[in-house]
């Protein structure tokens, strides 16, 4: 077996790009992640492929866009048992490539890509949340197909399980891959987290989360924003506490690497599945916090940190536009493994950028794309165009003069040529990388959950409006 580094991929749940001390937020306390960034590389403009959980996670694993892998909304319906579906069945994944290369795979935490009770091929350790979310002290986890009811604080339970996996792997010569998938800081927020973390924010001004005037497309549930809770201040305390508690749990995992003397042999990557707004733009939530679904940077950008002692530079921040569909190829190249299988679509390895050797995409215009059903976005360094099939409304933002995306210039004649150029690029890109049997352009996606895989029941694949706030 070739001596390759271990890889730990840590994914938080619904963490805005702003919700990190190292990213410039002076209110939130993330000392472990801030230190990880100081000892590694932080990406300041990393985008999810879709601003909601399941499609975003599917893209992280496959390097494909939702209109190629076919997951277009958060997955609802049966998560376990004979009625559940493996939504990535037959689609090559990062974990498949790692297993083929001799890695021993472990999962601790959220999966939410169907059949959560069934360990995927190559996994020697499987401890998965039943669905897409839960209370923090009342969760159902599946360990190798067997249900376990968890009453302890879920963030710590997931970290403890990850530590146990790392401990057990010291008996094996092969490198390991650990998917450490927290549910934090996903709602519920208030009354969920240990007092030692909530007490940190009792007197917080929360200036980093201005409660702006309600967005005209705001979705509500029982009178509260669909992604938030009725008591906004308690929700803010809970959200911040969830991030800080997760930060502390990550610290315990990293401490275990040091205790085993394998920190220098392990690549650690931290990111979130999608972004989140806590009052930014006048709503709570991510892409489905509004209808039509939104593509604001708070929804489509996520924090990203990678640390690889002795392998990558330290204390570096890159502002290149990079995306979830670039991740599998990048990680494989960092591990010294072939990445070409994950560069057949839009994804391109940016390992050279991380190593300080090459720009991320010298052969392409520097743009990123996101989609959420019929809503599609193209973003350059200083402009953003959002197109909603078939009727709109469309949006155009001049990010150079309006980084907060507060002025929609879609009807401004001065930008007509820019809009036409981006609209053409957007169209051509999705024609190139979408699959006809998975294209989401005409799907009735309302942010209310996807119940079946495309091709099995396409008209019933997405539930009717009336989201229950599950994920």
Give the CATH number of the domain where residue 438 resides: 3.30.1120.10
Q: How many domains does the chain have?
A: 2
Strand order in the sheet with 395-398: 368-372, 375-379, 383-388, 395-398
Query: Look-up: residue for tokens 């591990």?
Result: 335
Cα dihedral 429→431→435→438 (10° resolution):
80
Is residue 90 domain-shared with residue 218, that is, in the same domain?
A: yes
Give the contacts of 260 (CB within 8 A, at least 6 positions apart): 166, 167, 170
Structure tokens at 348: 């391109």
Residue finishing a domain among 355, 388, 404: 355
User: Does residue 85 sit in the same domain as residue 28?
Assistant: yes
Q: Are 80 and 117 in contact (CB under 8 A)?
A: yes
Residue 332 and residue 183 share a domain:
yes
Q: Do the beta carbons of residue 394 and residue 386 sit within 8 Å? A: yes
The range of the structural domain enclosing residue 381 comes to: 368-460
Flag whether 128 is in a domain.
yes
**Per-residue exposure over 7-42, b if at least 16 CB sit within 10 Å of its own CB, e if not:** bbbbbbbbbbbbbbbbbebebbbbebbbbbbebbbb
* 362 found inside a domain: no
- 160, 263: one domain: yes
| 372 is a domain residue | yes
> 433 and 342 in one domain?
no
The reply to whether 110 and 182 lie within a common domain is yes
Do residues 192 and 302 share a domain? yes
Residues 444 and 375 in one domain: yes
Question: How far is residue 102's CA from residue 390's CA, in Å, rounded to a whole number?
Answer: 46
Full-model pTM: 0.96
DSSP string, 190-255: TT-S-HHHHGGGTT---TTS--PSPPTTB-EETTEETTS-SSHHHHHHHHHHHHHHHHHHHHHHHH
**Buried residues in 66-97 as b, exposed as e (16+ CB within 10 A):** bbbbbbbbbbbebbbeeebbebbeebbbbbbb
> Are the beta carbons of 345 and 41 closer than 8 angstroms?
no
Alpha carbon distance 368, 26 (integer Å):
28
> How far is the first Cα of the chain from the last one, in angstroms, to the nearest whole number?
41
Residues 421 and 299 occupy one common structural domain:
no
Do the Cβ atoms of 95 and 119 come closer than 8 Å?
Answer: no
CB atoms within 10 A of CB 451: 17
| DSSP assigned state of 280 | G
Half-sphere exposure of residue 192, counting CA atoms within 13 Å on the CB side?
31
Last residue of a domain, one of 330, 355, 380: 355
Dihedral sign, Cα of residue 384, residue 23, residue 182, residue 267: positive
pLDDT in tens, 189-206: 999 999 999 999 999 999
3-class SS at 467? coil
d(CA 21, CA 438) in angstroms, rounded, equals: 38
Kindly state whether residue 363 falls inside one of the protein's structural domains: no
Is the Cβ–Cβ distance between 302 and 15 less than 8 Å?
yes
- Domain assignment present for 471: no
End residue of a domain, out of 355, 382, 397: 355
Check whether residue 314 and residue 236 sit in a common domain.
yes
* Rounded-to-integer distance, Cα 335 and Cα 260, Å: 20
- The parts of the chain modelled with pLDDT lower than 70 are 1-2, 358-365, 457-471
């Amino acid at each position: 077996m070739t001596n390759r580094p271990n890889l730990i991929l840590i994914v938080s749940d619904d963490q805005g790009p702003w919700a990190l001390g190292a990213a410039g937020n002076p209110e939130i306390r993330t000392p472990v992640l801030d230190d990880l960034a100081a000892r590694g590389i932080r990406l300041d403009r990393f985008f999810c492929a879709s601003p909601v959980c399941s499609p975003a996670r599917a893209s992280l694993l496959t390097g494909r866009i939702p209109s190629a892998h076919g997951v277009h909304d958060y997955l609802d319906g049966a998560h376990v048992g004979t009625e559940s579906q493996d939504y990535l069945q037959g689609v090559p994944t990062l974990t498949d490539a790692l297993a083929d290369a001799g890695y021993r795979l472990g999962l601790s935490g959220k999966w939410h890509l169907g059949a959560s009770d069934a360990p995927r091929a190559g996994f020697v350790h499987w401890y998965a949340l039943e669905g897409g979310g839960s209370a923090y002290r009342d969760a159902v986890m599946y360990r190798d197909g067997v249900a376990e009811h968890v009453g302890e604080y879920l963030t710590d339970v997931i970290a403890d399980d990850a530590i146990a996996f790392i401990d057990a792997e010291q008996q094996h010569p092969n490198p390991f891959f650990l998917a450490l998938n927290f549910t934090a800081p996903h709602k519920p927020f208030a009354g969920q987290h240990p007092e030692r973390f909530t007490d940190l924010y009792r007197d917080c001004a929360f200036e980093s989360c201005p409660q702006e005037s309600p967005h005209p497309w705001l979705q509500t549930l029982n009178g509260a924003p669909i992604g938030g809770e009725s008591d906004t201040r308690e929700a803010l305390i809970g959200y911040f506490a969830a991030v800080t508690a997760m930060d502390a749990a990550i610290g315990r995992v990293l401490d275990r690497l040091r205790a085993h003397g394998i920190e220098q042999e392990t690549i650690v990557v931290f990111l979130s599945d999608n972004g989140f707004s806590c009052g930014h733009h006048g709503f709570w939530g991510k892409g489905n916090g509004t209808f039509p679904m939104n593509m604001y940077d708070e929804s489509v950008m996520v924090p990203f940190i990678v640390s690889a002692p002795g392998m990558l530079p330290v204390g570096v921040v890159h502002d290149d536009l990079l995306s979830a569909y670039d991740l599998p190829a990048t990680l494989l190249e960092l591990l010294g493994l072939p990445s070409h299988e994950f560069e057949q679509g839009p994804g391109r390895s940016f390992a050279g950028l991380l190593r300080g050797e090459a720009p991320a995409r010298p052969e392409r215009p520097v743009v990123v794309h996101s989609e959420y059903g019929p809503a599609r976005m193209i973003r350059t360094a200083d402009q953003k165009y959002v197109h909603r099939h078939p009727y709109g409304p469309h949006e155009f933002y001049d990010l150079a003069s309006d980084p907060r995306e507060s002025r929609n210039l879609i009807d401004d004649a001065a930008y007509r040529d820019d809009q036409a150029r981006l609209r053409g690029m957007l169209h051509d890109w999705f024609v190139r990388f979408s699959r006809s049997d998975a294209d989401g352009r005409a799907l009735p996606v309302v942010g209310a959950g996807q119940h079946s895989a495309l091709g099995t029941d396409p008209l019933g694949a997405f539930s009717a409006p009336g989201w229950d706030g599950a994920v």
